[in-house]
């Protein structure tokens, strides 16, 4: 190897990419060694604070205008259940966006996989879990097919997934046949989304997820300390974990004051925690950020870029299939008509939460905040009896604002990905 090539390899090694700063998770605080400035603010050093402030303003506005109905336990329970599908689809969108790609077929894949599950359950009398597994495997195969065209044949992801969206919509019609709506009657499938957990499980699992979140942050702190990298002070670390604990306790208390913790909400949070751990604590996650930030440098560093793209698109479509199953469980039916706004909301949830459209920057926790903002706008406007036209205008304006902020941040600090 020549000296010049050796230099590139050393600078772009996976270990180097692992230490590059990125939005690591909810509650990330500024580097204690950095100084406050307008430029630092525009670089996004405040993490999720601007998004949290936006959510707080929206919540306060609707709490006042709805005479206190917005923050009632019943409405919050409905709100969180309404954004479950958006959250899961948004997680899929985050994976693809971190790669610097786009997937326009997620919603079509979701409903097609759900239709396959429903047909196997209703017409073939398959066991519910086998039918669900078949739906998930269909999503996996579709993702590998998308990834093959994108990673191996190097067709732009926009074209591949746009064509896939059209094709999978046709497959949906083929699977359902002459029926426009297929009602699912299996009690197992119908109970996945609307079930409320018992108090013991409703308290136990959320607290366990918080514990996993805290352990993940603590191990990250220890790893950085051993590597001689800047670490957060114990006070800031305690505040970060404490904030997550307080939010969790408050939400669970509100849920328990109504009917309990919705099972669907816990499933979506479980998905987000799992992928947060994967992205932050495994070589796969570090390589994903590396490929999204600079594919050529990642390739020279020895990362299998083709394999990464295949894996990401396979995971994204599998998550889309899960979202379709959750949607079917909540609505108890599969329809041939594909939602025109669900894909927009899923991508918007990721972008509003801070995931870059240009790849290599963002966190899976962005989905929680983005979905809450979108869901709060939708729910609050419904409480105010606003037309769908008003809701579409407001959501479009919020999405445009988020993308504009992302573009401005990129121009202010061009070193954060391409």
Q: Give the global pTM.
A: 0.83
Strand partners, 158: none
Residue 87's Cβ-count burial label (10 Å; 0-12, 13-18, 19+) is buried
- Residue 335 in tokens: 């329809």
User: Interhelix angle for 106-122 vs 305-331, to 10°?
Assistant: 50
The one-digit pLDDT tens for each residue of the chain (418 residues) are: 444 444 433 344 444 444 444 444 443 434 444 444 444 444 444 456 777 788 888 899 999 999 989 988 899 999 999 999 999 999 999 999 999 999 999 999 999 999 999 999 999 999 999 999 999 999 999 999 999 999 999 999 999 999 999 999 999 999 998 888 999 999 999 999 989 998 999 899 889 888 888 888 888 888 888 888 888 888 888 888 888 899 889 889 988 888 889 999 989 988 998 998 899 888 999 999 999 988 889 999 999 999 999 999 999 999 999 999 999 999 999 999 898 789 988 988 888 887 888 777 888 888 888 899 889 999 999 999 888 888 888 878 877 776 777 667 666 655 544 4
Cα–Cα distance, 143 to 101 (Å, whole number): 13
Strands 181-183 and 333-335: antiparallel
């Amino acid at each position: 190897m020549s000296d010049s090539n050796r230099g590139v390899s050393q600078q772009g090694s996976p270990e180097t990419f692992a230490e590059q700063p990125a939005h690591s998770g909810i509650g990330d605080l500024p580097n204690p060694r950095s100084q406050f400035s307008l430029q630092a603010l525009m670089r996004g050093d405040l993490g999720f604070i601007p998004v949290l402030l936006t959510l707080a303003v929206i919540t306060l506005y609707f709490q006042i205008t709805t005479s206190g109905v917005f923050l009632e336990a019943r409405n919050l329970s409905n709100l969180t259940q309404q954004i479950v599908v958006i959250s899961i689809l948004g997680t899929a969108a985050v994976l693809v966006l971190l790669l610097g790609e786009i997937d326009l077929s997620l919603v079509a894949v979701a409903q097609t996989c759900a239709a396959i599950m429903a047909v196997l359950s209703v017409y073939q009398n398959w066991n519910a879990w086998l039918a669900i597994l078949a739906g998930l495997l269909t999503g996996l195969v579709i993702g590998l097919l998308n990834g093959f065209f994108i990673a191996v044949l190097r067709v732009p992801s926009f074209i591949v997934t746009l064509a896939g969206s059209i094709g999978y919509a046709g497959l949906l019609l083929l699977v359902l046949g002459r029926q426009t709506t297929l009602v699912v009657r299996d009690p197992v499938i119908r109970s996945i989304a609307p079930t409320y957990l018992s108090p013991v499980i409703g308290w136990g699992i959320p607290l366990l997820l918080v514990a996993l979140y805290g352990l993940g942050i603590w191990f990250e702190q220890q790893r950085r300390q051993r590597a001689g990298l800047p670490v957060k002070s114990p006070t800031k670390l305690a505040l970060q974990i404490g904030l997550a604990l307080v939010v969790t306790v408050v939400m669970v208390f509100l849920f328990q004051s109504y009917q309990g913790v919705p099972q669907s909400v816990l499933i979506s949070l479980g998905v987000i925690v799992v992928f947060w751990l994967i992205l932050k604590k495994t070589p796969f996650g570090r390589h994903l950020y590396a490929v999204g930030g600079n594919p050529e440098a990642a390739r020279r560093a020895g990362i299998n870029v083709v394999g990464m793209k295949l894996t990401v698109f396979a995971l994204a479509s599998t998550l889309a299939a899960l979202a379709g199953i959750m949607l079917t469980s909540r609505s108890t039916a599969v329809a041939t008509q594909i939602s025109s706004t669900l894909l927009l909301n899923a991508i918007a949830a990721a972008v509003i939460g801070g995931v870059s459209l240009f790849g290599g920057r963002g966190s899976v926790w962005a989905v929680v905040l983005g979905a809450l903002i979108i869901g709060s706008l939708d729910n609050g406007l419904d409480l105010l009896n606003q037309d769908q036209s008003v809701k579409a205008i407001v959501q479009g304006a919020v999405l445009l604002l988020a993308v504009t902020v992302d573009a401005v941040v990129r121009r202010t600090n061009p070193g954060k990905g391409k």
